[in-house]
Structure 1
Amino acid sequence: MINGIGKILTGNSLNNITSNTNSQVMLETTLKAIGRPGFILIDNEINEDTKRYAAAKEFLYQATCLLVYAALVVPVFKRGAFKLAQKVFDKSEIGSFKSLKQYAHYLKLCDTTPNNRIQTLGKEIKGTSIVDADGKVRRKLVKDEYDAVMLKELQKTDEKDPPNTFHKLKGAIEFGNIVGSVFGLAIFAPQISHAFIHPALRMLGLEKSEEISEQKSLDKNA
């Protein structure tokens, strides 16, 4: 059991999660959405109505943050950073990747052991494209997706000479991720939550319209 835990702690999957801003934010926000309402609900110093209201409000806010992050960071900021890097850097520095998804798949293969990488690569090269009824290809082969340089990198077997991860492209995407996290969680999420949370609480029967009016009046007087 100890050996199993050790493998998990030192494995590539856990390393990828902890070293990636996207994974960190998603994990942290998910834990907050579960942990904070749970902490409020087990607090015996608060009456039941207040506990339900506070826990529901906290859960809705954290869920809003999670949705905003998922909808904003990857589609807008990470892809935007990828496209910007293509314009700023030469192909020799960032590779000839056609999309963020393609680069993510490349990195995933780079992070595996040489044997597993070669096996996976072999299956994808030897496989056949799956075509839908409407004629669209659902899955392209690696040999169709990558040029000779990319395949040469992926086919490296010496652990002392790992495949090139194109750190400039990786850094640009990570920077876009960080910027998106700041804008998404510090600016957009609070604004959206104000418009969403109170109607949701009223729908759940945890808040009345007159309570909102009283709160707004208190805020103005303050």
Structure 2
Amino acid sequence: AFLLCSPHNPTGTVHSAEELAAVAALAARYGVRVVADEIHAPLVARDTAFVPYLSVPGAEDGLSLMSASKAWNLAGLKAALAVAGPEAAEDLARMPEEVGHGPSHLGVLAHTAALRDGGDWLDALLADLDDNRRLLTALLAEQLPTVRYRPAAGTFLAWLDCRPLGLGDNPAEVFLARGRVALSPGPDFGTGGAGHVRLNLATSPEVLTEAVRRMAAAVT
């Protein structure tokens, strides 16, 4: 099986229909089942289109996993959905019954309310995330100009390339020890993560501004 993170965490990349169709074609050629983790789908920027994996040609035997937990901050109320393509429905039906017993009653109600009635709240959140991406770009340009950052179209996360700072493979350790800013270490995300950190943008402008100020102070 191939676990596809779409939109991608931590880079925020939103895959195009052409890219997803190419994945489906490769999976069919080599007999691989694609399981698409689409938990960040509601958090795609308003000027970017999200393409569900199961909507592209050749994805009929794929599986999609989704939840309201990220977009509506419901991670503490664990619940999720597994959606099968038409050629994978029987495989999903064979999963043991107890697999579906994890969500609590409150979790199911909260996720239902979010997906059914939480559109206005989500629209406001997306606007705030757009503002924070622009703010982070400006703050880094002013205070940490050598850190490379490309605002992403998906997720509420920022992937920062800190290699020019010369802080080693895990800059998060330095920012925590010297600046008291907790970031996700890049090496935790596998190949290519050395020298990077992941920053959570889902916060207030004041907190984001203070975080970058402390990060800059930690390397001066």
Q: TM-score range by the shorter chain?
A: under 0.3
Q: TM-score, length-normalised on structure 1?
A: 0.26
Q: Which has the higher strand share?
A: 2
Scaled by the length of structure 2, the TM-score of the pair is 0.27
Structure that is richer in helix per residue: 1
More contact order relative to length (CA 8 Å, sep ≥ 6): 1
